[in-house]
Amino acid sequence: MSEDGVLEVSVHIAAARETVFPYFVDPARYVRWMGNSAVLEPVPGGAYRVSMRDGVRVEGEFVEVDPPHRVVFTWVGPTTDAEMSGSASQAPISAALHAAENSAALRFPSG
């Protein structure tokens, strides 16, 4: 974790960002990647609700969508269905897709 309280995870994906970006904003592709179900409305203020394969659910809202460069959304969770709060007050998660490296960088602010 960096001194500014941000945990940054970088993942190298051997694909162009135009190929990777839809997996963050298209429910059908998101589910193929890592979810069980997804409601994604990729516009500022739009819904971000995902149920993972293990039953854990997260929700939030899109803050910024700049295809195919960057997507920012809030993330509340993990919770179970019974604990879902309806609140998206957590710090935003940012996914920046870097063209030169063909990689995705996710930033997870802590605290």
pLDDT digits (tens, 9 = 90+) for 7-64: 677 777 777 888 888 999 999 999 998 889 999 999 999 999 999 888 888 888 998 9
All residues at 6 or more sequence positions from 97 whose CB lies less than 8 Å from its CB, including other chains: 17, 20, 21, 68, 69, 70, 103, 104, 105
Q: pLDDT band for position 102 (50/70/90)?
A: low
- According to CATH, the superfamily of the domain at 6-109 is START domain (3.30.530.20)
Number of residues assigned to the chain: 111
Ranges 23-37, 72-86, 87-101, most confident: 23-37
* Domain ranges (residues) in the chain: 6-109
Q: Which of 63, 66, 67, 61 is nearest to 49 (CA)?
A: 61
pLDDT of residue 29: 95
Residue pair 56/79 in contact by the 8 Å Cβ criterion = yes
Q: What predicted TM-score, i.e. pTM, was given to this entire model?
A: 0.74
Tokens of 37: 């179900």
Higher pLDDT, 61 or 105: 61
Residue type, 3: E
Backbone angles phi, psi at 4, to 5 degrees: -85, 10
pLDDT of residue 18: 87
